[in-house]
């Protein structure tokens, strides 16, 4: 999966001028190799297209402050943060962007809140969006961690400075500041994992008195992908985040690491298709066998039937013809329908004014509206009958499944 990392400059983009951004690009999500140890530089419009676009926020652009947050979620959380941290914030909260390092659902413990200037950040994000870059996440280069560590690099004034992180916070200090060792403490001094940029490695080793891990800008930017927080929160949350996750999952499935899974899914689908076809073939054979049995039974019971089109329907018709020829009453005959009317007619009620019978259908005519309504209600309680109004007549017939 191709990945593009973009380091946001300290100054916001100016309208009418193309600002260069330092960036790192990888075709396969592996750390890019740069001989000079830092990224390339180009305007946003000239950056390569990638499946994932991640923005990085420099150490100088972000502060981490502790806060005891209430157990709230969603839009109310930012208001709660402002209310709790009002005395710690040095600027108007409306001019700051806030983000929580971890979940704020656990009440009663310290949470780390990232604080950065809102307008420069918003300007960079808008410029990226205008350039067609869909930023998935905004990541810090350093954050409070349970493990102690630090990174030494050369500042804009060519003086080495230390970015230190401990469980109690993150800070940036000049390497030559007095009392730094006492402030850091013996635990940090003896056990912290310290890295340094190539230009500051000698100063860092001399100051610390032990070797440090040389980490160039490329390696440090790439390591920031493991940050446990996305700073695009609250009003800066990407509206397309749900689609981004779907797209990311789809892109991840295309990588070589997921090839066995893809083949497994294809094999499973193939087995299911073959199985469904075999089952359909077996069901078709069973249906054909049942039809053959019905045709054989029809020809055996009624040898006079020459052509078989619908064995079941033809057998019903032949059976009805035999019953009628024998003078027996069957379902849907006049006697059967009259018996149904007699069962619901109270004793002593006047006889029916008029009857009209057609095969399978009986019409009761000449009924007064109250009598017709009463009779329709009573006959409608019989699940075997179908009752309907035909003008001023009441029509009775058997339901198809009861014939």
CATH topology of domain 334-402: Hypothetical Protein Ta0175; Chain: A, domain 2 (3.90.1070)
Q: Is the pLDDT of residue 104 over 60?
A: no
Report the top-level CATH class of 1-142+227-254.
Answer: alpha beta
Cβ 320 vs Cβ 360: under 8 Å? no
Confidence of residue 12 (pLDDT cuts 50, 70, 90): confident
The whole-number pLDDT of residue 9 equals 92
In angstroms, the first-to-last Cα distance of the chain is 67
Q: Is the pLDDT of residue 346 over 90?
A: no
Q: Is the pLDDT of residue 86 over 90?
A: no
Per residue in 319-353, is it b (16+ CB within 10 Å) or e — as a string?
Answer: ebeeeeeeeeeeebbeebbbebbeeebeeeeeebe
Rounded CA-CA distance 392/369 in Å is 8
pTM of the predicted structure, to 2 decimals: 0.60
Q: Is the pLDDT of residue 330 over 70?
A: no
Quick one: 36 exposed, middle or buried, by C-beta within 10 A (0-12, 13-18, 19+)?
exposed
pLDDT tens per residue, range 125-149: 999 988 888 898 999 999 998 889 9
The three-state secondary structure class of 34 is coil
pLDDT tens per residue, range 43-75: 999 999 888 899 999 998 999 999 888 887 777
pLDDT tens per residue, range 242-291: 665 666 667 667 777 788 888 999 999 999 999 999 999 999 999 999 98
Rounded CA-CA distance 310/317 in Å is 11
Q: Residue for token digits 């998935």? A: 136
Residue ranges covered by each domain of the chain: 1-142+227-254, 144-216, 257-328, 334-402
């Amino acid at each position: 999966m191709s990945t593009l990392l973009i380091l946001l400059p300290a100054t916001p983009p100016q309208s009418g001028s193309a600002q260069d951004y330092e960036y790192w690009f990888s075709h396969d999500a592996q750390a890019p190799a740069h001989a000079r140890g830092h990224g390339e530089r180009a305007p946003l419009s000239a950056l390569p297209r990638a499946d994932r676009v991640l923005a990085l926020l420099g150490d100088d652009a972000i502060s981490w402050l502790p806060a005891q947050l209430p157990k709230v979620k969603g839009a109310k959380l930012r208001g709660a943060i402002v209310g709790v941290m009002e005395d710690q914030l040095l600027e108007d909260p409306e001019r700051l962007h806030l983000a929580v390092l971890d979940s704020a659902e656990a009440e009663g413990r310290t949470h780390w809140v990232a604080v950065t200037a809102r307008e420069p950040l918003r300007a960079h994000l808008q410029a990226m969006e205008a350039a067609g870059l869909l930023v998935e996440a905004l990541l810090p280069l350093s954050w409070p961690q349970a493990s102690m560590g630090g990174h030494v690099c050369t500042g804009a004034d060519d003086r080495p400075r230390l970015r230190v992180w401990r469980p109690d916070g993150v800070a940036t200090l000049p390497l030559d500041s007095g009392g730094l060792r006492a402030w850091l403490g013996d635990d940090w001094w003896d056990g912290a994992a310290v890295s340094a940029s190539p230009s500051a490695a000698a100063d860092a080793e001399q100051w610390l008195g032990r070797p440090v891990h040389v980490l160039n800008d490329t390696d440090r930017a790439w390591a920031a992908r493991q940050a446990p927080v996305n700073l695009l929160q609250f009003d800066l949350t990407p509206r397309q985040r749900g689609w981004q996750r779907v797209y990311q999952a789809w892109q991840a499935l295309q990588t070589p690491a997921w090839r066995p899974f893809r083949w497994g899914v294809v094999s499973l689908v193939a087995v299911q298709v073959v199985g469904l076809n075999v089952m359909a073939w077996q069901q078709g054979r069973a249906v054909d066998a049942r039809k053959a049995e019905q045709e054989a039974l029809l020809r055996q019971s009624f040898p006079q039937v020459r052509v078989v089109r619908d064995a079941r329907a033809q057998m019903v018709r032949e059976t009805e013809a035999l019953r009628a020829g024998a003078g027996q009453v069957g379902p849907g005959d006049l006697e059967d329908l009259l018996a149904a009317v007699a069962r619901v007619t109270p004793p002593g009620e006047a006889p029916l004014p008029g009857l009209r019978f057609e095969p399978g259908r009986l019409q009761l005519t000449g009924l007064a509206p109250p009598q017709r309504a009463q009779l329709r209600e009573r006959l409608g309680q019989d699940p075997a009958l179908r009752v309907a109004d035909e003008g001023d007549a009441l029509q009775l017939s058997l339901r198809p499944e009861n014939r």
